[in-house]
Amino acid sequence: MREIVFAGSGGQGVLTVGLIISDIAATEGLNVTWVPSYGSAMRGGTANCTVKYCAENYIYNPSQEQPDLLLAMNEPSLHMFLPMVAPGGTVLVGDTVTIPADARQDVTYVHVNCTEIATSLGNPKGANVVMTGAIVKLMGDFSREAAIAAMNHMFEKKGKAKFNESNAKAFDAGYNAVECLSDASCVR
Amino acid sequence: MAATRERKVPALVDKPMDFCPGCGHGIVSRLIMEALEELDQLNNIIFPIGVGCSSNLGAGLECDRLHCCHGRAGAVATGMKRVSPDTLVVSYQGDGDAYNIGIAETFNAAYRNENITVIVINNTNFGMTGGQMSLTTMEGQKTSTSVHGRDCSVTGYPIRFPEIVAREFPGAAYAARGTVTTPANINKLKGYIKNALQAQLNHEGYSIVEVLSPCPINWGLSPVKAMERIEQELIPYYPIGEFKKRGEEQK
Amino acid sequence: MAEMMKGNEAIAEAAVRAGARFYAGYPITPSSEIMEYLSWRMEEVGGSFVQAESELAGINMVIGASACGVRALTASSGPGISLKQEGISTLCDEGLPAVVITQVRYGNGLGTLFTAQCDYNRETRGGGQGDYRCIVLCPSSVQEFVDLMAPAYELSEKYRIVVIMMGEGTLGQMMEPVTLPDFVETKRTPWALTGKYDYKKIGIFERDSRKEAVELREKYDAIKENEQRWFDEGIEDADYVFVAYGVPGRATLGAIRELRAEGEKVGLIRPITAWPFPEKAFAKINPACKGVITVEENATGQLVDDAALFIKKTHKDRNIPAYALTYVYNTPPIRSIKADYFRIKNGEVKEVY
C-alpha cells in the first residue's frame, strides 16, 4: 500500500494533486481512498489531503498514518507533516521551501521549483500539475501515459478539457525533473 | 314552542370538541369546515395542528390531520404541501404556538411564500396551560405570568403578524384578521377564511387569517363580557379586516 | 470501473436512488454537501428540496413529507442532530418512517469538526424525550453507506421507525471508488395523508398510551430479534475480540489481520447495526476468550458499555473483562491499535468492566 500526504496553503492546488493521483489509481483499478482536511482544520494556514492506494488489499484505514511521500508546498506544511513521514520515505518540496539544516536525515528530500517551471511554460497556475508529474515518477507505480490519460479524463469530467495540452506539458516537466526513487512498483 | 331551525353540522366534524364554555375555537372550527364544504374540498384537506387549545380541533374531526411539535406547524405544513401541492394544507394554531414558540417557522413559511393557509386563534394568552402571557397579550393585561399587568417596556409590545405579512412579504396572497363577537363579524370572518382557502386552491401563495377569540376562563370574564372585551379593548389595537387582498399589488 | 466519488455526494445520490423524494435541512460541517447536492438533484427527479430556516424546521418538514407518504431525508451532525431530537421522537410517536443522516463530529456544545464517534449513546438510546428507539446503521465505507440507503428506507417503512445513518466526518468528506445502486420505484406509503382520509386515525385524546407503549416494546423486540447486522472475523478461537464500528471498525480489521499474521489470536465484531446491537455475534465468541476490546473515537468510552453488557450476558459463567481503547477524535493509526493491544495483553491497561 502507498500513502501520500499532499499539503500546502489554500490555493496551491494540493487537494487537486491528490485528486489526480487518486483518479489515476482508480483508473488503474486499484483500491484507493482520498481524505481531505476540512472545516476548521483548514484554518491553520494549510490545506491537506491523504491518498492511499493498493493493488491487492482493501484500504483499511483511509486516514493519515505514515506517508511514503509528503508533498509540502509551503514551510508550515513541511513542519507539520515531516515527523509523520515513514523512515526511508520521500519529501517533495516546492520553490519557496527551505529544508532546515537540522531536519531528520532518514528521508530523501527532493526539490522541484514547480512555480518557476510552470511559469516558464506560460502556465503559472500549473505548479501543482508539475508536482503531479514529479510524484508519479518518484513513486514509480504508474506509467507516464496512463497517468496523463487519467488526469485528462478527470479534467474532462469537470468540463476542463481545454487545459489538457498545457496540463500534459506541465506534467511532463515535473516528470522529467526527478528520478524514480522506488525500486519496486506496488502496481506492476 | 316555536320551531327551531336545526343547523347542519359539517360532515368533517364527528363529535363535540372539548372547548371551554364561551370559547371562540368552536365557532372558528365550524367556519373552516363550512368553508371547505362550500368549496367542495371535504375530500382534499390536511390539517397540521398546533399545540395548545388548538389541539382540540384534532379530536373532533373526520379528516387527515397531524399534531405537530409545539410551534412547528409552519414547517410541517411546508413539508406536506411540497409533496402534495394539490391538497389543501391548513395549519390551525393558537397565538402562543404560532407566534411565541413558533415565530421562526411561522415567519419563514410566510417568507418563502409557501402555498398554505395559516389560521391563528389569538386569545391574547396561553389558554391551555393556564393563561400565561403570550406575544399578543395586551399592555397592562394581567395573566398568570404578568400578575401586575403586562409591562411592554420589558416584554415587548403585542405582535400584529398579519400586518407584517401584508407589509413585508410581497409574494403573500392574502392576510386578514377577523373575530367572532357578532353574527355580522362571524359572517365576515367566514368570508376571510374562504378567501384564504381559495387563494391556496388557485396556487396564489401564502394566506393567513388571524381570529380574535374570547378566552373567558383565563380572562376571568363571563362569555358575554369576554366578547365585549374584544370589541372594546382588542379591536382598537388589532383591527379587523383584510390587510392584503387577493390579487392586490404590494402597497 | 467504479468512479471516485465524495462520500456525501455518493450518499445523496444513493438516497435519491433509494426513493428519497424530499429533503429538508440546514447546513453544517461535515454533512453540508448532502444538501448541496440534493438542492439541484431533487428537482431533476421530481422531488422537493427545502433549505430550512433551522434544524428544527428541517426535521419538522420531514415529518410533514413523511406523513404524506413520501420517502424523506434530512442530514446533519452533532449539535444539529441534538436540535432535531424532538422531531425524531415525534416521528417515532406517530409511527412515521424517515432516514436521518448524521456525519458525526467531535465535541460537547458547539464542539469541533473532527471526525468522531461521540454520539453513540445519543443515537442508540433514542436521544429525545420518551421511551423509543431508532434503528441505527453504522457503515464503515462510502460503498457500504451507499448500499445501506435502500435497506434503510425499507426498514423504516417495515417497522414505521426512524433509521439513523450514523456516519462520521471522514465518511462524508472522503472519496472512494463507488458503484451506485439502481433506482427503486417510488410509491407513497399506505398510511399517507392524502387529504381524503383513506387511512383512519383516532384523535390525539383517545389514544391509549399504555397500550401503545406495550405494542412499541413488542415492535422493538421484533427488531432486536430480526435485524441485527454485523461483520465478524476470527472470533471463534480468539483470545481477544475487538469491537469497533465505522471507520475505526475498518482500521481495526486491518489491525487484526496484521496481528493474526504475527501469530496473535485476535478477532473483530464490526456492528453494522448499532441498534439493535449485534448481540448474536457474541454467541460465536470463543468461550475461553480473555477480553473484548472496543476501539472508539471518543474520550469516555460509549460502545464499551454495550460490548461489556453482551459479553457478560452471553458468557455468564466467566467474567470476561471489557477494555476500551479511546482515541478522542480522528481515526487511530493501525500501528496505534496494535501497540495498545499489546499493552492490554501485557496487563498495562485496566478493564472498564
pLDDT at residue B9 in the model: 76
State the Cα–Cα distance between residues C26 and C80, nearest whole angstrom: 8
B-C interface: how many C-beta pairs under 8 angstroms? 129
Question: Is the Cβ of C51 closer than 8 Å to some Cβ of chain B?
Answer: no
Give the C-alpha distances (Å, rounded to integers) separating C302 from B58, C273, C338. Answer: 41, 15, 21
pLDDT at residue C253 tops 70: yes
Contact B75 C57 (CB under 8 A): yes
Whether residue C41 has pLDDT greater than 70: yes
Residues of the domain holding C271 = 231-345
Q: Check residue A185 and give its pLDDT.
A: 65
Domain closes at, from C199, C226, C253? C226
Domain membership flag for residue A184: no
Residue with cell 451506485: C180
Q: How many CB atoms lie within 10 A of CB C213?
A: 13
pLDDT beneath 70, residues of chain A: 39-45, 183-188
Amino acid at B20: C
Q: How many angstroms away from the CA of B78 is the closest CA of chain C?
A: 6
The answer to whether chain B touches chain A by having 3 or more C-beta pairs less than 8 angstroms apart is no
The answer to the question of residue C311 being in a domain is yes
Same domain, C203 and C253: no
3-state secondary structure of B157: coil
Closest CA to C115 of C167, C61, C186: C167
Res C206: pLDDT: 83
Tell whether C309 lies on the interface with A, counting CB pairs under 8 A.
Answer: no
In chain A, the number of structural domains is: 1
Chain C partners of B106 at a C-beta cutoff of 8 Å? none
Q: Which of C1, C174, C233 to mutate to test the interface with A (most CBs of A within 10 A)?
A: C174
CA distances from C329 to A108, B226, C120 (A): 31, 61, 13
Contact by Cβ (8 Å): B28, B214: no
Q: Is C45 on the interface with B (CB under 8 A)?
A: no
Position C44, amino acid? E
pLDDT at A38: 74
CA distance to partner chain B, nearest, from residue C198 (Å): 8
Contact C74, C23 (CB under 8 A): yes
Q: Please report, for the domain that includes residue A166, its CATH number.
A: 3.40.920.10
**Does C237 lie in the same domain as C219?**
no
Note whether residue C353 is domain-resident: no
Which residues of B fall within a CB distance of 8 Å from C50? 78-79, 82, 112
CA B22 to chain C, closest CA, distance in angstroms equals 21
Give C242's contacts (C-beta < 8 A, 6+ positions apart): C252, C255, C256, C266, C267, C268, C269, C292, C293, C294, C295, C337, C341
Q: Which residues 289-318 of C have a C-beta within 8 angstroms of B?
A: none
pLDDT in tens, C175-209: 999 999 999 999 999 999 999 999 888 777 788 99
Neighbours of B28 (CB within 10 A): 26
> Residue B250's pLDDT is what?
57
- Total domains present in chain C: 2
Query: What is the C-alpha separation between A41 and C115, in angstroms, rounded?
Result: 11
Which domain covers residue A56, as residue numbers?
2-177
Residue A187 resides in a domain: no
**Residue A40: per-residue pLDDT:** 54
**How many angstroms separate the CA atoms of B108 and B185, rounded?**
30
pLDDT one-digit tens code per residue, C78-91: 999 999 999 999 99
My answer on whether C42 and C148 are in the same domain is: yes
Residues of B in contact with C70 (CB under 8 A): 83
CATH class of the domain at B25-125+160-214+227-244: alpha beta
Q: Give yes or no for a contact between A32 and A147, defined as CB atoms under 8 angstroms apart.
A: no
Give the chain C residue nearest B41 (alpha carbons).
Answer: C195
Within chain A, how many helices (H) and strands (E) appear?
6, 6
Flag if C175 and A22 touch (Cβ within 8 Å): yes
Write down the pLDDT at residue B61.
84
pTM exceeds 0.90 for this model: yes
Cα Dmax for chain C: 69
* ipTM > 0.85 (yes/no): yes
C149 and C283 assigned to the same domain: no
With left for phi above 0 and alpha for psi between -120 and 50, is residue A118 left, alpha or beta? Answer: alpha
Tell me the three state secondary structure of residue B10: coil
Quick one: pLDDT at residue C202?
A: 77
CATH number of domain containing C275:
3.40.50.920
Q: B104 vs C54: CB contact, 8 Å cut-off?
A: yes
* pLDDT, tens only, C268-304: 999 999 999 999 999 999 999 999 999 999 999 999 9
Provide the pLDDT confidence category of residue C94 given band limits of 50, 70 and 90: very high
Strands laid side by side in the C240-243 sheet: C230-233, C266-271, C240-243, C291-296, C322-326
Where do the domains of chain B lie? 25-125+160-214+227-244
> For the segment B48-102, what is each residue's pLDDT rounded down to a tens digit?
999 999 998 887 788 999 999 999 999 999 999 999 999 999 999 999 999 999 9
Do C136 and C204 lie in one domain? The reply is yes
Q: Which of C54, C56, C68 sits opposite B83 (nearest CB)?
A: C68
Cβ within 8 Å, pair B108-C53? yes
Please state, in angstroms and rounded to a whole number, the distance separating the CA atoms of residues B172 and B165.
7
CATH number of the domain where residue C144 is located? 3.40.50.970
Q: How far apart are alpha carbons B86 and B154 in whole angstroms?
A: 44
What cell was used for C12?
445523496
Question: A60 and C177 in contact by Cβ < 8 A?
Answer: no
Q: What is the pLDDT of residue B57?
A: 85
pLDDT in tens, C113-124: 999 999 999 999
Report chain B's mean pLDDT, rounded to a whole number. Answer: 94
Q: Rounded CA gap, B221 and B224, in Å?
A: 8
CA C85 to chain centre: 15
* Cβ B176 vs Cβ B196: under 8 Å: yes
Q: Which of C173, C174, C250 is closest, CB to CB, to A60?
A: C250
Does the pLDDT at position C164 exceed 90?
yes
pLDDT digits (tens, 9 = 90+) for B145-180: 999 999 999 999 999 999 999 999 999 999 999 999
Q: Measured between beta carbons, which residues in chain B are less than 8 angstroms from residue C66? A: 79
Q: Give residue C262's identity as a one-letter amino acid code.
A: E
Taking the CA atoms of residue A163, residue A164, residue A167 and residue A168 in that order, the dihedral angle to the nearest 10 degrees is: -160
Q: Which of C107, C108, C125 is nearest to C116 (CA)?
A: C107
Partners of residue C173 in chain A, C-beta under 8 Å:
35-36, 38
Residue C282 lies in a domain: yes
pLDDT of B10: 81
For residue C189, the model assigns a pLDDT of 95
Stretch 69-98 of chain C: residues touching chain B, C-beta under 8 Å: 69-70, 72, 86-87, 90, 94
A61 with C254: Cβ contact below 8 A: yes
Neighbours of C210 (CB within 10 A): 8
For residue C38, the chain B residues in CB contact (below 8 A) are none
Q: Are A55 and A77 in contact (CB under 8 A)?
A: no
Question: C342 pLDDT exceeds 80?
Answer: yes
Does C323 share its domain with C174? no
Measured between beta carbons, the chain C residues lying within 8 angstroms of B82 are 22, 48, 50, 61, 64-65
Give the full edge-to-edge strand order of the sheet including B117-122.
Answer: B64-67, B45-49, B88-94, B117-122, B207-212, B174-179, B241-244
